[in-house]
Amino acid sequence: MVAPAQGQSLAKTIFLLTSAACWLIVGASLIYLVPFAMNTFRPSETTGVWMETLSRGGYRPQLAIVGGGGAFLLAVVGNVLWYKTSGDELIRKR
C-alpha cells in the first residue's frame, strides 16, 4: 500500500529543479557536439562540409564542452551534497 502524498520541502523542490535544468543543459550540449564528434571520430567528405558550413555560422563546440562540462559537474556535486546532507537515501532499502 502506498503512503499518502506528503508535501516536499522547498529545499528539495529547488534541488530537483536545479538538477533537472543541469541535466537538460548537459543533454543539449551533447546534441550540439554531434557534428564535431562525427568529424573527429568518423571524418568523411560529408562531415567536412558539415563542419565548414557550421563554422561559417559561428559554430563553436568549445562552448558546449565548457557549458555542458560545467553543468555536469554542478549536477554531480549537487547530487553528492544533497544525499550526504539531506538524509535522503540514493537507493532505498526495503
- Residue 12 has a pLDDT of 85
For cell 559561428, name the residue.
58
pLDDT digits (tens, 9 = 90+) for 35-45: 999 999 999 99
Confidence of residue 3 (pLDDT cuts 50, 70, 90): low
Euclidean distance between CA atoms 64 and 71, whole angstroms: 10
Query: Using the 8-state DSSP alphabet, how is residue 57 labeled?
Result: T
Judge whether residue 1 has pLDDT over 60: no
pTM: 0.76
- Residue 13 has a pLDDT of 87
pLDDT digits (tens, 9 = 90+) for 13-71: 888 899 999 999 999 999 999 999 999 999 999 999 999 999 999 999 999 999 999 99
Burial of residue 87 (number of CB atoms within 10 Å: 0-12, 13-18, 19+): exposed
Residue spans per domain, the chain: 26-85
For cell 555536469, name the residue.
72
Euclidean distance between CA atoms 18 and 28, whole angstroms: 15
Query: Using the 8-state DSSP alphabet, how is residue 2 labeled?
Result: P
